[in-house]
Every structure is written in structure tokens, then in C-alpha cells.
Amino acid sequence: MERPDDRISSALRFTTELVAWVATPWALSAYSWLLAVLSVVVLIGLPAVFSTPGDKAQVIVPVPGAVTILLVLLQLAAATIAAWSAWPTYAAVLVSLLVAATLVTERPRWRWLLSTDRRTDEQRKGGAVAG
């Protein structure tokens, strides 16, 4: 199975991640600055360290596709919950629409991540291994 073209879903996913990175510490800062800082470390650090081979150019700790999907779901949940907790209703609605669009556009990538054959075009042609 070839990796799907995910330029649109990547842009939506990245935008949602940015929202999560801003909204989560914003929401948690009302309770504890330490929790706010820890949330950023978790939301940025986990996906930076753990990734599925073939999904990113640099893989530090390889994990199955299901783990990558769970990390994306963590970002989406954090963005949604934190936006509803810390921001005005109109902003939370916009974030919820962004998350819904991300969920829809991520489906082909998630199918690829869960497939047992995640080779890239270069690997099929016998070229360098991507990842």
C-alpha cells in the first residue's frame, strides 16, 4: 500500500497541533504553571520522539502505526477540550470544526499507518529507505 498524499491533512493536523500547544497550557495555567509546562512537553515531545517508520523523515523511536494514530488523537482531544475550557465559545466552535475536518482528512493516512505494507515508492523501486 502506498503512502497517501496527505498535504491537506498534514496542514490541518499541524494547525490542530498548534492549537493544542497553545490552548492546553492556557487552560491548565489556571490550575498550575507546572501542569501547563508539562502539557507542552508531552504534546510536543511524544510525537517528536515516537513515530512510525515511513511516516516521518527522521525516526528516533520507531512505533507501530496505531501508536502514531493515538498520539494524533491525543493532540486532537487536547485542542478540543482545552479550547472549550479556556476560550470563548466562537473560538471553541472553530477549533471543533478544525478537529472534525482533521479527523475526516486523516482517514487515508490512518488506513496506511494500520496497513501491514507501508513501503514507500522509493522502497518499492529499490531505492533508499525513507524514514
Three-class SS state of 130: coil
Residue with cell 496505531: 66
**Structure pTM?**
0.86
* Residue 87: predicted pLDDT: 98
How high is the pLDDT of residue 123?
Answer: 55
- Check residue 118 and give its pLDDT: 62
Cα gap 105→117, rounded to integer Å = 21
- The C-alpha atoms of residue 81 and residue 88 are separated, in whole angstroms, by 12
Q: What is the mean pLDDT of each run of 10 residues along the chain (131 residues)?
A: 90 98 97 97 97 92 97 98 98 98 97 79 51 44
